[in-house]
Amino acid sequence: MRASEAQVAILNNPGYQFGLIGALAAEANLAGKRSRLREQLAAAGFDQNRELRDALDRALVAKGYVVSWPVEQVDRGSTARDAFGIRKAYAPIESADSQLDVNFGFVGYMAAGAGKSAPYRPTVTISARLVAADGRTMLFRDLFAYNNVAPGPTRDAVSVEPDPAYVYPDFDDLDKADAASAEGLRTAIRALAEKIAERL
Amino acid sequence: MLGALASGACASAAPPRKVVLGETCRHSVDALDARLLPSLPPGQRGPQMDFADIAQCVLADGTRVPAALFDLRPVSPPMRASVTLEANPHATLATSVTLLDGGYKPIRRMGFEQFARRGDTYTLDVFVNAADRGASYLLLLPDAAWVGKSDASTRAGTTAVVVPVGLATFAYRHGFEAHATRRLTDAGRLRIELAPVAD
């Protein structure tokens, strides 16, 4: 899977509506929020890649699959991928019947707007493709979204509603949540892993 | 003068028709008339149907329920039957889907919880494999575990306020969280598409 980092996003961010200076100020504000969230997740020992691996293992084994992971879970090379992180080509393998390519799109906290009526909620999107051992035959492809509020390419993703236990009216509330912010993302990743296994 | 435009999270669709069960009720599934489903080329959508138009009354455990039966035999396995339900705020069909063999015996049943919510639809793909060579019919029956409940969804909405600035205008967009609730019922609109799957 491709590398990813926790993000913070505000849809319809007012700052981006006031020209270049507004956009720069908005981006600086978001950058500060992103750093703060990443520090909070690191302090909680949260690693989204490990969480996805553990959740997928559980969900797939429960369905009767035998799963083996590459030595390096995250590919930090220059593998050609599409906009969703899905590889453009696969090598044939002999060690398994098929290959599952999974990637985070967005992982972090997203708000539908800038006011208290649009709270921050854990938001995760995952793209998944299953190809046969020959590396050519596509068996399955889909997009999965937890808290699917963003318009655009995830509109028709398999959607999971967010757990109302993890809702933060503004960023200060999220900042004070400490380890609960990690738990919210863990809940999201597990929910999507189960959906992926359900649909394979 | 300010003008405000809002785009909500869900399109308002006209409510689907309620199912009216006539006086005649079939005693069992094998007495239902089976509708043929044409095999469509990849990418082509099947016609949208109103469950009220295709449902027939059948007795299930002594209770009159609406049901729709589809004939899969024109397409040989392996094939995929894709069932798409319209997520209508007034009435969304919460149906179960059962694959039946030629003797109308169930091969496998998928409840409404196995449908995936996608945007303004719920979808279910039923794969009929070569090993299911006896598979002949698809039966849709409202899922009693879900009818009467509701399903909530969260989306982003935007309001644009148009503000005159001198001779020009400026549109300020404000985002908000929009919540929609869909009533799960025994009525609604659906599509079913049948397509062969390459071995």
Stretch A118-126: mean pLDDT, rounded? Answer: 96
Token match 């083996």: residue?
A: A68
Tokens for B156?
């982003």
Question: What pLDDT was estimated at residue B4?
Answer: 47
In our burial notation (b when 16+ CB lie closer than 10 A, e otherwise), range B116-134 reads bbbbbbbbbbbebeeebee
Beta strand residue intervals within B30-185, DSSP E: 34-36, 49-50, 56-60, 63-71, 79-86, 92-93, 95-101, 106-110, 116-118, 121-128, 135-142, 150-165, 168-185
Q: Write out chain B residues lying below 8 Å of A156, CB-based.
A: 118-119, 121
Taking a contact as any Cβ pair under 8 Å apart, which residues of chain B between 84 and 113 contact chain A? none
Stretch A66-87: mean pLDDT, rounded? Answer: 86
B153–A149 C-beta distance less than 8 A: no
| DSSP code for B130 | G
- Interchain CB contact of B11 with A (< 8 Å): no
- Name the interface residues of A facing B (CB cutoff 8 Å): 10-14, 17, 111-115, 117-119, 121, 147-151, 155-162, 195, 198-199
Instruction: Give me the interface pTM, i.e. the ipTM.
Output: 0.85
As a whole number of angstroms, the distance between CA B38 and CA B36 comes to: 6
Token match 């019947």: residue?
A: A97
Tokens for A5?
């980092």
Question: What pLDDT was estimated at residue B58?
Answer: 95
Question: What pLDDT was estimated at residue B157?
Answer: 85
Residue A64 has pLDDT above 70, yes or no: yes
Q: Write out chain B residues lying below 8 Å of A14, CB-based.
A: 172-174
In degrees rounded to 5, what are phi and psi of residue A173? -65, -40
Residue B63 burial by Cβ neighbours in a 10 Å radius (0-12, 13-18, 19+): exposed
Question: What pLDDT was estimated at residue A79?
Answer: 87
Judge contact between A41 and A175, C-beta under 8 A: no
Residue A17 has pLDDT above 50, yes or no: yes
Which of A59, A53, A104, A62 has the alpha carbon at shortest distance from A83? A104
Tokens for B85?
């339900």
Residue A181 has pLDDT above 90, yes or no: yes
| DSSP code for A3 | -
- DSSP letter for each residue of A153-183: TTTTSEEEPPPTTS-BSSHHHHHHTTHHHHH
Run of H or E residues at B51: helix B51-54
Most confident of the ranges A121-125, A132-136, A152-156, B38-42: A121-125
Residue B29 three-state SS: helix
As a whole number of angstroms, the distance between CA B103 and CA B136 comes to: 8
Q: What is the pLDDT along chain B (199 residues), one digit of tens a residue?
A: 444 444 544 445 788 888 888 888 999 999 999 999 877 777 788 889 999 999 999 998 889 999 999 999 888 888 889 999 999 989 999 999 999 999 999 999 999 999 999 988 999 999 998 888 799 999 999 999 999 999 999 888 888 888 787 888 777 778 889 888 999 999 999 999 988 876 5
Q: Write out chain B residues lying below 8 Å of A114, CB-based.
A: 174-175
Token match 């503000």: residue?
A: B163
Q: Which of B118, B119, B175 sits opposite A113 (nearest CB)?
A: B175
Judge contact between A107 and A7, C-beta under 8 A: yes
Question: What pLDDT was estimated at residue B144?
Answer: 95
Question: What pLDDT was estimated at residue A53?
Answer: 95
Question: What pLDDT was estimated at residue B11?
Answer: 47
Q: Write out chain A residues lying below 8 Å of B175, CB-based.
A: 10-13, 111-114, 118
Residue A24 has pLDDT above 60, yes or no: yes
